Amino acid sequence: MKLKAVFVAGGMPNVTYVDRNHLSLEKKFRTELAEGYKIVAITGPTKSGKTVLCRKVIPAADCIWVDGGQVENPDDFWTSIVRSLRIPTEESENITGSATFSWQAIIGIKSQITAGSTVKYPAPTKKEILTAMRSSELTLVVDDFHYLSPAIQQEVVRSLKSEIFDGLTVVFIAVPHRAFDTISAEPEMEGRYAHITIPPWSIDDLLSIPAKGFPKLGMTVPDQICRKMGVEALQSPLLMQRFCGRVCTHYEIIETIKPARNFDPTDAILEDIYKDVAKQFGFPTFEKLAKGPQSRSKRNPRRLKDGSGSLDIYQAILMAVGKTGPKSKLHYDEIRDNLKDLLQEVDIPQKHEVSNALGHMESIAKEKIKGEPVIEWSSDYLYITDPFLRFFMKWSNIKDFSFAE
């Protein structure tokens, strides 16, 4: 068996798929789908396994998948469904595929067929598209629903309402942050909306990934090593999959070995893996925050205590935050203490300056970075909700990055 069929970071895992049975996620989801007549909303933190759960439970042939990230206007939404349904828009008379046939049966033949000529089908209406889906018992899945603008969300929910009443099954996937305000705003949707939350991954949940994967490759890796990786994965199954894969490639194992062997990577090897993985995750987000808002005035350089150079206030704050671990929730006092350790006394920013900069970073997180805000600054507490940002800050040297103007 090949390595990439075992540890899958960023796609659909099969061998290392973990059902986290104690949470009954699959069961809850199947129950809602079986009951029908509602929108089933799946929410959970970024990269926590929302798409994976959905793909596992609903076979690809039974659903039409719309990617919220690809939808810029309402037309994109409907055309992407039409494309997946393979509804013809134009066809020669003597070629009649089965898809065409069932489609004609649903909408009726709208154009007169003249022998030998090309038949043009008029663009189907929303109602026809949805009826076609319902008749073929296809589930509509809208992944990353939070990427749709509120106006499109509203339009979609309104168009779906009556079809849901008639039995169309709809699944929305989103990060939790106010994603479903548009649904609750529709009065008739009350009671026709079910919510399934994907909880964060515990270390034991994460440990199932190496437990399933390594033996398939003929590898034994001590439990305490896997546990160390589980801690560094910061509740992310994606990071855990990646670490396991990197342990394999470190020993040049790219497919199952026989006989099975024991592997015991040192801390230094693991740290190299983390540093290397950190280069692939979190940087684009970090870079946007570290640049701060566009401003014409030059920022004061803050000289480092160790004499190795200077940082502007945004970079200095992020570096101070990184030195806390970084934790997912930290108080201003901890940031200040770390700024004191980092910067020369005269260059340490005042509280209002730090607060101001963090406020700007929060706005950048809300306005310039897609998805759920990666950081939040409120009542003297900084919340870092994105595990990849935390991981990046822990394992990369912020001073290594130059920030182009």
CB nearer to Mg ion: give 20 or 394: 20
Q: Note whether 171 and 141 are within 8 A (CB).
A: yes
Beta bridge partners of 331: 381
CB nearer to Mg ion: give 67 or 91: 67
- Work out whether 236 is an interface residue with Mg ion (CB under 5 A): no
From 16-24, 130-138, 286-294, 300-308, span contacting ligand ADP (CB under 6 A)? 16-24
State which of residues 51, 139, 315, 396 lies at the interface with Mg ion (CB under 5 A). Answer: 51
Report d(CA 74, CA 307) in Å as an integer.
55
Beta bridge partners of 67: 143
State which of residues 157, 174, 219, 238 lies at the interface with ligand ADP (CB under 6 A). Answer: 238
From 44-52, 184-192, 212-220, 237-245, span contacting Mg ion (CB under 5 A)? 44-52
Report d(CA 54, CA 52) in Å as an integer.
5
Q: How far is the CB of 22 from ligand ADP (least distance, A)?
A: 13
Task: State the sign of the Cα–Cα–Cα–Cα dihedral 88, 40, 142, 187.
Answer: positive
Q: How far is the CB of 49 from Mg ion (least distance, A)?
A: 8
Report d(CA 240, CA 198) in Å as an integer.
17
CB nearer to ligand ADP: give 235 or 338: 235
State which of residues 39, 41, 49, 183 lies at the interface with ligand ADP (CB under 6 A). Answer: 49
Report d(CA 368, CA 354) in Å as an integer.
20
Q: Between 77 and 106, how does the x/- string for binding to ligand ADP read (CB under 6 A)? A: ------------------------------
- Work out whether 182 is an interface residue with Mg ion (CB under 5 A): no
Torsion angle of the four alpha carbons 28, 34, 38, 44, in this order, in degrees rounded to the nearest 10: 30
CB nearer to ligand ADP: give 17 or 263: 17
State which of residues 16, 182, 285, 315 lies at the interface with ligand ADP (CB under 6 A). Answer: 16
* Helices 267-278/387-395 angle, 10° precision: 120
Report d(CA 182, CA 184) in Å as an integer.
6
Q: Is 173 exposed, middle or buried (0-12, 13-18, 19+ CB in 10 A)?
A: buried
By a kind-dependent CB cut-off of 5 to 8 A, residue 182 interacts, out of Mg ion, ligand ADP, none, with none
**How many residues make contact with Mg ion (CB under 5 A)?**
1
3-state secondary structure 336-358: HHHHHHHECHHHCCCHHHHHHHH
CB nearer to Mg ion: give 19 or 337: 19
From 8-16, 67-75, 124-132, 302-310, span contacting ligand ADP (CB under 6 A)? 8-16
Q: How far is the CB of 52 from Mg ion (least distance, A)?
A: 8
- Work out whether 18 is an interface residue with ligand ADP (CB under 6 A): yes
CB-based contacts of 226-233 (< 8 A; 24+ apart in sequence) = 227/203, 228/267, 228/270, 229/270, 230/203, 230/206, 231/203, 232/270, 232/274, 232/391, 233/201, 233/206
- Work out whether 153 is an interface residue with Mg ion (CB under 5 A): no
- Work out whether 48 is an interface residue with Mg ion (CB under 5 A): no
Footprint on this chain of Mg ion (rule: CB under 5 A): 51
